[in-house]
Chain A
Amino acid sequence: MNKYFLIVFAFTFSSIYSQSALEIIKITDSRLRGDSSYAEMTITIVRPKWEKKMALKSWSKGTDYSVSLVTSPAKEKGSVFLKRKKEAWNYLPTIERTIKLPPSMMTQNWMGTDFTNDDLIKQSSMVVDYTHKIVGTEIIENLNCWKLELIPTENASVVWGKLNVWIDKKDYMQLKIEFYDEDLEIVNRMVGSKINEYNGKKLPSRLEYYPLDDEGNKTVIEYKVWNFDVSIPENYFSTQYVSRLK
């Protein structure tokens, strides 16, 4: 019995090792998204002498549809960001208007944070817009991780020149990402920590983004609720529903 177990174990192990970089990225990406997801999170922008905390609710379906509702602070409460495939809109409750955003808005920093709209909602980009290579293994947060190097494909419309991604071998969590610009200079670092279990999936509940040019600056995302494969009505991802999101 033990012998069989060992064989099976060894086989599984070797098959994990033989997994391609692309497969790893695909698994980590699909784990982070599920078929659909609902999350409640806080985003804190930290500057040496200043701090701002925002709370958000966010729904997503597949890779194409996502919508986020700001629930605090008071001034921005009720603002909505809607994305459908390549189109994006912003709903402002004070003027009761939905404004269509120019495509260039996607590569700019989101609401004063240290990550872009793209970072926030275009996760799938890691699968389709880059070529992938395993370049080593390292221990992060006491977990054995693959280190992957992602280089954008020639026609990809991405902001980054290169990404280094650390993914743990057991639960496929992205625990660290280094963002390089087009000149291959490192500009941002993302670090995941405080691992929690959400619907049986282990994921870091705290993500910190550091812009490396500005010491003392960072943006922290903390997930309070994170549910996967929930049923979300189709009309949540529509311009006519933005004023009714709760």
Chain B
Amino acid sequence: MKYLLFISLLFITTSSLKAQKKDEKNWKNNLSFSGYVRYMKSSSVINSDSIIADNLIHNRLRFKMDFNSNLTGVVEVRNRVFFGEATNLNPALGEILNNDIGNLDLSFIPHNSRTLVVNSIFDRAYIKYSSEKWELRIGRQRINWGVNLAWNPNDLFNAYSLIDFDYQERSGVDAIRFQYYTGDMSSLEFAFQPGSDMDRSIFAGLWRFNLSGNDIQLLLGNYYTDLALGLGWAGSLKNAGFKFESTYFIPKKDINDSSNVLSTSISFDYSTKKGIYFNSSILYNSSGNNRNSSSDNLFGSFLSDVSAKNLMPSKFTYFSQISGNFTPAITSSFTAFYMKGEEMMLLMPSITYEIKENIDSMLLGQFIYNNLNSKINPMGIGVFARLAYNF
């Protein structure tokens, strides 16, 4: 992988030099730059009455270079500065952030102290070659195969958690991806995330097509130690949208092993004339818990340990969201997750106000409850206030 990236970089440099020689002015026109700066103040209460506050300055820079009409290079970096009580209470924060889970270490900690932690990570760094019939991407990228909003069993490479609201872009994977367009609405795709052996790699193919108003996708692949078979479907029932997404994981070593895992998510969405949008989903994880596991880190499982095979720790999890605009400037949403068995519920209300064209503010809450012995207990509260400037 390292060699591949090295060759890619060499390729970028030489072709960019060529482009530069050809037309100096054009070179500048072909470079695009965008991003945002955000400041977020968070306050959390976990299992106690004391409030822990923290601050985050969050910047994203996106660079895109069109070397010619076919070849494009993309580099995106996420810079974050943490300071405050929570940063102070977590001496390992710098080390955790420095750990890049990809094949290449593209995460840097320019400053690491108890009072201030600075982290930069390149979560996109790839080149793509696009022709009329196919596209090849090499490097750190996002491979987004999901069809649902809340949970994506088909998202083998970049499964994510909706709760991590401050990282919409998600981390990238170091991979090679080839898409071949078999028609206007159909394509074949192959993606490979290499590891030291097949049990540490993902290699999968996806076939997409449109059939009488339905988007359908079938996938087959090697997912670490499993064989993965998947189906995704996005269609409609009358005026509502209907989506189905499922992947079946079979251990390669022993096909008769009972540790096969089925991960399935079904959702409906509907939008009223007034623009109020509803989305309801259910997730079935056959390897999930059916009863309370009394885990200390259930909230962590909402966020960090997310994979296509294990999207939620519970066997059944329900999701509902309602969102809408009060005015064009004010958007509000209310999201609820309920883990059956674990008897845990997360409520997430939010309100966004677009102050000016490129400046918006957001207030978001996360309220976690569990239900033990038919008593509802608050487990934690997080309140986040964010100001963002987009450029």
Neighbour of B275 across the interface among A75, A100, A109, CB < 8 A: A109
The 8 A CB mask of B348-391 against A (1 = contact, 0 = none) is 00000010011010000000000000000000000000000011
Q: Identify B168's interface contact among A53, A94, A238, CB under 8 A.
A: A94
* Closest B residue to A76 using CB positions: B390
Q: Using known A-B contacts A104-B271, A108-B272, determine if residue A50 contacts B329 with beta carbons closer than 8 Å.
A: yes
Contact B239 A103 (CB under 8 A): yes
Do residues B390 and A73 form an inter-chain contact, with CB atoms below 8 A?
Answer: yes
Q: What are the residues of chain B within 8 A of A239 when measuring CB–CB?
A: 185, 210, 215
Measured between alpha carbons, how far is A107 from B234 in the docked complex, in Å?
A: 20
* Residue in A closest to B391 when the chains form the complex, CB atoms: A74
- Chain A: CB-nearest residue to B132: A235
CB distance from B95 to the nearest CB of A (A): 29
Task: Tell me the smallest distance from the CB of A181 to a CB of chain B, in Å.
Answer: 10
Question: Are B213 and A107 in contact, with the CB atoms below 8 A?
Answer: no
Shortest distance between the CB of B327 and any CB in chain A (Å): 6
Rounded to whole Å, the gap between the CB of A162 and the closest CB of chain B is 17
Within 8 A of A (CB), among B150-205: 168-170, 179, 181, 184-185, 187
**Quick one: CB contact mask for A98-110 with B, threshold 8 Å, 1 for yes?**
0111111101110
Q: Which of B139-147, B288-296, B311-319 contacts A (4 or more CB under 8 A)?
A: B139-147
Docked complex: B114-162 residues within 8 A CB-CB of A: 130, 132, 142, 144, 146-147, 149
Choose among B236, B274, B358, B391 the residue with the greatest number of A CB atoms under 10 Å from its CB. Answer: B236
Taking the closest CB of chain A, its distance from the CB of B35, in whole angstroms, is 8
With A74-B390, A95-B144, A101-B241: A107-B329 Cβ-Cβ less than 8 Å: no
| Pick from A53, A104, A109, A234: contact of B240, CB under 8 Å | A104
Chain B, residues 329-349, CB within 8 Å of chain A (1/0): the string is 100000000000000000000
Q: Is B8 an interface residue (CB 8 A)?
A: no
Residue A224, interface by CB 8 Å:
no
Are A100 and B185 neighbours in the complex by a CB distance under 8 Å? Answer: no
For A95, give its contact among B170, B271, B272 (CB under 8 Å).
B170
> Which of chain A's residues have a CB closer than 8 A to the CB of B149?
99
Residue of A nearest to B215 (CB): A100
Complex-state Cα separation, A45 to B241, whole angstroms: 28
Closest A residue to B329 by beta carbon equals A50
**Given A95-B170, A108-B275, A240-B179, residue A50 in contact with residue B241 (CB < 8 A):** no
B243 at the interface (CB under 8 A from A): yes
Across the interface, name the chain B residue whose C-beta is closest to A234: B184
Q: Which residues of A contact B390 (CB under 8 A)?
A: 73-75
Q: Is A39 engaged at the interface, CB distance under 8 Å to the other chain?
A: no
B226 in contact (CB, < 8 A): no
Task: Report B-chain residues with C-beta under 8 Å of the C-beta of A244.
Answer: 130
B27: which A residues are within 8 A, CB to CB? none
**Cβ 8 A contact of A102, one of B170, B236, B325:** B236
Interchain CA distance A113-B236 in the complex, whole Å: 25
**Contact yes or no, B358 A105, CB < 8 A:** no
Question: CA separation between A71 and B286, bound complex, in Å?
Answer: 44
Q: How far is the CB of B169 from chain A (nearest CB, A)?
A: 6
Q: Which residues of A contact B132 (CB under 8 A)?
A: 235
User: How far is A94 from B76 in the complex, measured between Cα atoms in Å?
Assistant: 11
In B231-253, the 8 Å CB interface with A consists of 234-236, 238-241, 243
Cβ B271 vs Cβ A86 within 8 A: no
A43-75 at interface with B (beta carbon < 8 Å): 45, 47, 50, 52-53, 73-75
- Tell me if B360 and A75 are in contact (CB < 8 A): yes
Please give, as numbers and ranges, the residues of chain A lying within 8 Å of B185 by CB-CB distance: 84, 238-240
A96 touches B357 (CB 8 A): no
Within the complex, which residue of A47, A104, A105, A235 is in contact with B328, where a contact is CB–CB below 8 Å? A47
Do the beta carbons of A102 and B275 come within 8 Å of each other? no
Q: Looking at the complex, which one of B234, B277, B357 makes contact with A52 (CB distance below 8 Å)?
A: B357
Chain A residues whose C-beta falls within 8 Å of the C-beta of B235 in the assembled complex: 100
User: By the criterion CB–CB under 8 Å, are B357 and A73 in contact?
Assistant: yes
Kindly state the separation between the CA atoms of A108 and B243 in the bound complex, as whole angstroms. Answer: 20
19 further interface pairs, Cβ-Cβ under 8 Å (given A53-B357, A108-B273)? A73-B358, A75-B36, A87-B213, A94-B169, A97-B146, A100-B243, A102-B236, A102-B239, A103-B240, A104-B241, A107-B273, A108-B272, A109-B275, A112-B328, A113-B328, A234-B184, A237-B184, A238-B185, A240-B184
8 A–B contacts from the bound complex (CB under 8 Å)? A47-B329, A50-B327, A73-B390, A74-B358, A96-B144, A102-B239, A235-B184, A238-B181
**Which 10 A-B pairs give the minimum distances between C-beta atoms?**
A102-B241, A112-B328, A104-B239, A100-B234, A74-B390, A238-B184, A75-B390, A108-B275, A105-B271, A104-B271
